Amino acid sequence: LFAGQVEFLKGVVAMDGLPPADRAEVCFAGRSNVGKSSLINALTGRKALARASNTPGRTQEINYFTLGESHYLVDLPGYGYAEAPVAVVEKWQRLLKAYLSGRQTLRRAFVLIDTRHGVKPVDEEIMRLLDSAAVTFQAVLTKADKVREQDREKVLEQVRAALARHPAAFPDLVLTSSEKGDGITTLRAIVAGIA
């Protein structure tokens, strides 16, 4: 699975633009700039498949990628602070929420959390939405390379405690670095195992 099997399909700006709900899909959600697009690139081994940048608010559409014949990977716009006009941000936030709570074929949401920052109130808001919609979600810590090993445990504890309060959350954490490759094989195996 993965290598050579992922292609960009389309960018979606409204719910009626979603592709037919004919495949299982997994999505990557998280605060702006947390590393969603970079993680998709690392998972697929394709450097510039999803556009990543240092500007929060880079991804402004729901980007669909086909994975083999049976799955979609979905790169979402971020939530929280973004460098874009307020009206534009509000439009994509509405779309993001509609998608997360209303996509029947969404099998799992990966909720990305920056290892430097832990779970923030906006993450809690998204996790509550996923609870309400009964969408199973799994936390993925990003940018692990930016935190020294001895400083990670504190954040991991905070994230575990937060997840324990959400019925739709998987308890296990995946620690990743798209830059260094940590956790990528593990996460790839998890995605591949989602029916």
Structure token pair of residue 151: 């400083």
Per CB under 6 A, 115 contacts ligand GTP: no
CB atoms inside a 10 Å sphere around CB 173: 17
Nearest alpha-carbon partner for 35 in 190, 193, 187: 187
Compute the distance between CA of residue 61 and CA of residue 100 in angstroms, rounded to an integer. 14
DSSP at 26 = E
Structure token pair of residue 57: 């608010």
> In the range 30-89, which residues lie near ligand GTP by CB under 6 A?
30, 32-38, 52-54, 56-59, 77-78
# residues near ligand GTP by CB under 6 A: 24
- Contact criterion met (CB below 8 Å) for 183 and 43: no
Q: Which does 80 bind (CB under 5 to 8 A by kind): Mg ion, ligand GTP, none?
A: none
Minimum distance from residue 60 beta carbon to ligand GTP (Å): 8
Window of 89-97, 126-134, 140-148, 167-175 that interacts with ligand GTP by CB under 6 A:
140-148
Per CB under 6 A, 96 contacts ligand GTP: no
Closest residue to ligand GTP, judged by C-beta, is 78
Window of 12-20, 129-137, 171-179, 183-191 that interacts with ligand GTP by CB under 6 A:
171-179
Residue 5 or 55 having the CB closest to ligand GTP: 55
Compute the distance between CA of residue 43 and CA of residue 178 in angstroms, rounded to an integer. 8
- Contact criterion met (CB below 8 Å) for 29 and 122: no
Q: Give the one residue of 178, 183, 184, 190 binding ligand GTP; rule: CB under 6 A.
A: 178
Minimum distance from residue 78 beta carbon to ligand GTP (Å): 3
Give the residue carrying structure tokens 């094989």.
185
DSSP at 51 = -
Binding-site ranges for Mg ion (CB under 5 A): 36-37, 58-59
Residue 70 or 112 having the CB closest to ligand GTP: 112
- Contact criterion met (CB below 8 Å) for 187 and 140: yes
Minimum distance from residue 149 beta carbon to Mg ion (Å): 27
